[in-house]
Amino acid sequence: MKVAEIFAGAGGLALGLEEAGFKNVCCLEIDKWATKTLRKNRSNWQIIENDIALFVDNFSNYKFPEIDLLSGGFPCQSFSYAGKKAGFQDKRGETFHYFAKLIDVWKPKSFLIENVRGLISHQKGETFRNIIKILENKGYKIYWKILNAWNYGVSQKRERVFVVGFKQSFFGDNIQFSFPKEYEYKLNLRDALKDVPISQGVEYPQSKKKVLDLIPMGGCWRDLPEEVAKEYMKKSYFLGGGKTGMARRISWNEPSLTLTTSPQQKQTERCHPEETRPFTVREYARIQSFPDNWEFIGSLLNKYKQIGNAVPINLAKEVGLAIKKTLSSINI
């Protein structure tokens, strides 16, 4: 079964679908370092470094086979809780419309979209309802669900919404699809980082390290002396909410919190259980379930960004297997 990947990034979703048994015929990505990573690891894939708008407008110039699956996660910052939630007013949010146009010209049997959970509630749900309506009007039966990577062989609490569509003119009334069942055993950080290769990593500034040295394993800002916490958190100290991502040291016996594109943001510390430092590049990759032989090209910070933006491989694989099961039942 053939898959084309849009907004491929460093290849998390594409690699997971490959492990599910799909043959990759195209990876489209605009970031030059992410495309270098893809080419380094999969020289047999067709890697296209281009903007999706130009790709769609010039689609007739390319020669592609029919595809069983079109997959990708359009940029999520426009809908993220951590961002400004500008949605389609943000140019990055507009990329969904090009994904929708690509469905028109490529006419895949199915598609897969991954995005942040915040997409569901953006503009009180109106944005997501419009997305579903647009996709249904193209003749696809739509399924969607919020999945937590921790339930699928990933040592990380990372919730994302997955939208899957099947072309009704191809499948008729025989579409039967279910999202993957959750694993019984949930991985902890110790499982993920056992024998992890040594690699580069950023360091905390001394001022931050001095504060995080006071945090026990599994602890956060609440374990700090009150005056230290107030000085470290500034105005955030007086805001509502648990703020448990601040000054957070992960325990060996729990999964990591959601990895971000930077390992040392003040609001989202993910401190190593025993050493007062952020996770290294290979530790970041392990937590995202990348194999150790998957190399990342670029600066140290760019590598973190590529990994933090990726779909966890094991989660992508499980969703891919579920889609493949539906496609296989019809092909037979």
pLDDT at residue 143 in the model = 97
Q: Flag the least confident range among 8-12, 263-267, 304-308.
A: 263-267
3-state secondary structure 57-120: HCHHHCCCCCCCEEEECCCCCCCCCCCCCCHHHCCCCCHHHHHHHHHHHHCCCEEEEEEECHHH
Q: pLDDT band at residue 122, thresholds of 50, 70 and 90?
A: confident
The average confidence (pLDDT) of the chain is: 92
Active site residue ranges: 76
**Whether 178 and 243 share a structural domain:** no
**Whether 149 and 200 share a structural domain:** no
**Whether 54 and 164 share a structural domain:** yes
**Whether 63 and 144 share a structural domain:** yes
**Whether 259 and 175 share a structural domain:** no
**Whether 254 and 112 share a structural domain:** no
Q: pLDDT band at residue 223, thresholds of 50, 70 and 90?
A: very high
Give the range of the structural domain holding residue 101, as residue numbers without chain letter.
2-183+312-331
**Whether 109 and 60 share a structural domain:** yes
**Whether 25 and 56 share a structural domain:** yes
CA distance 38 to 48: 10
| Counted domains in the chain | 2
**53-101 per-position pLDDT tens digit:** 999 999 999 999 999 999 999 885 554 444 454 444 545 457 899 999 9
Tell me the pairing of strands 2-6 and 23-29: parallel
**Whether 87 and 139 share a structural domain:** yes
CATH code of the domain in which 224 resides: 3.90.120
**Whether 167 and 225 share a structural domain:** no
What is this structure's pTM? 0.92
Q: Judge whether residue 21 has pLDDT over 60.
A: yes
CATH code of the domain in which 52 resides: 3.40.50.150
**Whether 209 and 150 share a structural domain:** no
**Whether 201 and 157 share a structural domain:** no
CA distance readout (Å), 96 to 6, 28, 59, 111, 238: 11, 14, 17, 13, 37
